[in-house]
Copies of this chain bind each other. A is one copy, B any other.
């Protein structure tokens, strides 16, 4: 089952600056700026009534988004994240349907502290898709 759109992630050179107009022009709630060195990003969130926009900025030499921001100096939509009730079941279903799971296929703990996987953009219309274990169900 496809759950909520958890967030749209926009990668930029300066996350705080990028989020600012969502506050000033739209009156959206903007989070604090949080460095996540273990994920190689700095994050800022803009909260919408039904989801959130996550601004991510490269942090450190090995940041997984460094090349994206180099190629897109103005920034750009980096990925979209869907919640799934059971990430293992979702992964197995995706593989059965011919979709490619990036990395070794084992969920990693993502920036929100939940298991995540990334799916190949070529199987999702050019969009990098993250699936995240929904918080409602615990993984055993």
Contact = CB atoms under 8 A, between A and B. Distances in A.
Interface of A: 1-5, 8, 10-12, 18, 21-22, 24-28, 46, 48-51, 53, 55, 72, 74-77, 80, 82, 84, 90, 93-94, 96-99, 121-127
Closest 4 CB pairs of A and B: A75-B125, A2-B26, A76-B126, A75-B126
A5 B5 contact: yes
B21 A2 contact: no
Nearest to A51: B5
A1 B26 contact: yes
Counting every copy of the chain, the complex holds 2
B46 A2 contact: yes
Contacts of A24: 97
A82 B12 CA distance: 20
Contacts of A53: 5, 80
B124 A21 contact: yes
Given A21-B94, A25-B90, A53-B80, 7 more contacts: A5-B8, A8-B8, A10-B126, A55-B125, A74-B121, A76-B125, A77-B126
